[in-house]
Amino acid sequence: MTGTATEISRGASVSLIVQKFGGTSVGTVDRIRNAAARALATQRAGHQVVVIVSAMAGETNRLLALASELSPLPDAREVDALASTGEQVSAALMALAIQAQGGKARSLLGHQLGIITDSAYTKARIKAIDAQRLHDELADGTIAVVAGFQGVDEAGNITTLGRGGSDTSAVAVAAAVGAACEIFTDVDGVYTTDPNICPTAKKIERISYEEMLELASLGAKVLQIRSVEVAMKYGVPVHVRSSFSEAPGTWVVGEEQSLERVTVTGVALDRNESRVMLVGVDDRPGIVAQAFTALSRENISVDMIIQSPSAHTTPAGPDGAVSRKTDVTFTVTKADLARTQQVMESMRVVVGAREVRYEEDIVKVSIVGLGMRSHAGVAARMFELLAAENINIEAISTSEIKISCLVATRYAELAVRALHDGFGLGTPA
């Protein structure tokens, strides 16, 4: 794999480990020291080590806040030039810390390592990594310390990979050099649900890429979604673990290796959705298409969609013509709601809606598990468990390995606990 390659190809090298340290794991000089010690210990155990760093905790937020002070909509190219500096600081500090403990280390920025991305500022995608450059660095026992989150486009502009993007840097580098990837963070793994909500939640030992993708899309923030996609595409085993302990964390691996054959692996709560209801829309071909095309043009992604006959259907007139109406309900993220409102106001007349309603007081609870594919009755069980708590389901969506229900915000925690313990995920009290 060379700098001219247009794709990350899965290399092969047995004893190479990529270790990524997140913001809290490099949040202070002391913590950087600890991380450095861990990288050195890994090297002493006989591995070549690549370290990927995030910015020190809070730094990216601080930088972005500075930009917004100057402009409500700052130029994306400059935002990336700014935001990427956080990782430059921690990469240099990490290299210094390794050197101070007697090791060899060199920091490498995205452009120095030939991390080539597309030009989509603030959410760029990696297209190529110069694996040879990395191998050359490592050959003499140097630990390569790579600034996460950043790359350059073909024209040499600095880009960033989206919030949480250093996970993706780590997995992509691991893919390029054929390494496993350890993600050191401030939690000790992926849990069956949020332990703050459900005290019986427990750490999952192994989880498949597919399940992890669903959980991450539902707001489990341990890994950036994109990083899981890259790991799945290239088959990179990812070990999510705490930088403050020696205990093993959670392995994110291929389906074949995710041994546990349970029906439900995790329960997720997503507080970021809001509901939009188009009331009394014309029930004709093409109407729904128009509404959703308008949304996608604005880059707004829609999650759940329900269409049902409307109470507003006008009865047959003297000519016998019935003007059939339908209600269309869908969800978008709360962050997209304001823009959705704009789009819907402009579409209202076109689609013949009587009214558009917006609701933010809802959450989405979901169960995720590969085992659902082969077990009938999982949905029924989920609905029963919610019903037993008198929780009304406002909308439902399913995929092969996920079932989601929209419920009122006040039921959020109760729903999570009922499902978690109802599906037997909890540790027995």
Task: State the binding site for substrate.
Answer: 60, 87
Count of residues touching Mg ion (by CB under 5 A): 2
Interface of this chain with ligand ASP, residues 22 to 51, rule: CB under 6 A: 23
Query: 11-50 mask for Mg ion (x: CB under 5 A)?
Result: -----------x----------------------------
148 scored as a contact of Mg ion (CB under 5 A) = no
CB of 87 to ligand ASP, least distance (A): 6
Using CB under 5 A, which of 86, 164, 165, 178 touches Mg ion?
Answer: 164
Q: Tell me the closest approach of the beta carbon of residue 93 to Mg ion, in angstroms.
A: 18
Q: Quote the crossing angle between the two packed helices 166-177 and 225-234, to the nearest 10°.
A: 10
**Binding site partner of 149, from ligand ASP, Mg ion, none, Cβ cut-off 5-8 A by kind:** ligand ASP
Shortest reach from residue 159's CB to ligand ASP, in Å: 13
Q: If binding is defined by CB under 6 A, does position 164 make contact with ligand ASP?
A: yes
Of the pair 164, 178, the CB lying nearest ligand ASP is at 164
Task: Show the binding pattern over residues 140-159: x = contacts ligand ASP (CB under 6 A), - = does not.
Answer: --------xx----------
Biggest CA-to-CA distance, the chain: 92
The annotation places the binding site at: 20-23, 60, 87, 185-186, 191, 221-222
Kindly state the smallest distance separating residue 258's Cβ from Mg ion, in Å. Answer: 22
- How far apart, in Å, are the Cα atoms of 294 and each of 281, 345, 351, 359, 423? 15, 11, 11, 20, 40
Closest by Cα among 429, 16, 13, 18 to 230: 18
Binding-site residues for ATP, in ranges, read 20-23, 185-186, 191, 221-222
HEC secondary structure over the chain = CCCCCCCCCCCCCCCEEEEEECCHHHCCHHHHHHHHHHHHHHHHCCCEEEEEECCCCCHHHHHHHHHHHHCCCCCHHHHHHHHCHHHHHHHHHHHHHHHHCCCEEEEECCCCCCCEECCCCCCCCEEECCHHHHHHHHCCCEEEEEECCEEECCCCCEEECCCCCHHHHHHHHHHHHCCEEEEEECCCCCECCCCCCCCCCCECCEEEHHHHHHHHHCCCCCCCHHHHHHHHHHCCCEEEEECCCCCCCEEEECHHHCCCCCCCCEEEEECCEEEEEEEEEECCCCHHHHHHHHHHHCCCCCCCEEEEECCCCECCCCCCCCECEEEEEEEEEHHHHHHHHHHHHHHHHHHCCCEEEEECCEEEEEEECHHHHCCCCHHHHHHHHHHHCCCCCCEEEEECCEEEEEEEHHHHHHHHHHHHHHCCCCCCC
The smaller minimum CB distance to ligand ASP, of residues 43 and 60, is found at 60
Stretch that binds ligand ASP, among 160-168, 172-180, 296-304, 318-326 (CB under 6 A): 160-168
Position among 60, 265, 310, 331 found at the interface with ligand ASP (CB under 6 A): 60
Q: Which does residue 60 touch among Mg ion, ligand ASP, none (CB within 5 to 8 A, set by kind)?
A: ligand ASP
Of residues 163 and 324, the one with the C-beta less far from Mg ion? 163
- Give 164 or 280: the residue with its C-beta nearer to Mg ion: 164
Question: Of the two residues 55 and 304, which places its CB atom closer to ligand ASP in the complex?
Answer: 55
What is the rounded distance in angstroms from the CA atom of residue 107 to the CA atom of residue 48?
Answer: 15
**Of positions 163, 206, 312, 324, contacts ligand ASP by CB under 6 A:** 163
Token pair 């009331």 is found at: 279
Does residue 266 touch Mg ion according to CB under 5 A?
no
176 contacts 1 by C-beta, under 8 angstroms: yes
# residues near ligand ASP by CB under 6 A? 12
Beta carbon nearer to Mg ion, 236 or 370: 236
With CB under 6 A as the contact rule, the residue among 25, 54, 193, 250 that binds ligand ASP is 54
x/- site string to ligand ASP, residues 90 to 129, per CB under 6 A?
Answer: ----------------------------------------
Nearest CB to Mg ion, comparing residues 114 and 164 = 164
Q: Does 110 bind Mg ion (CB under 5 A)?
A: no
Contact residues: ligand ASP, CB under 6 A = 23, 54-55, 60, 86, 148-149, 163-167
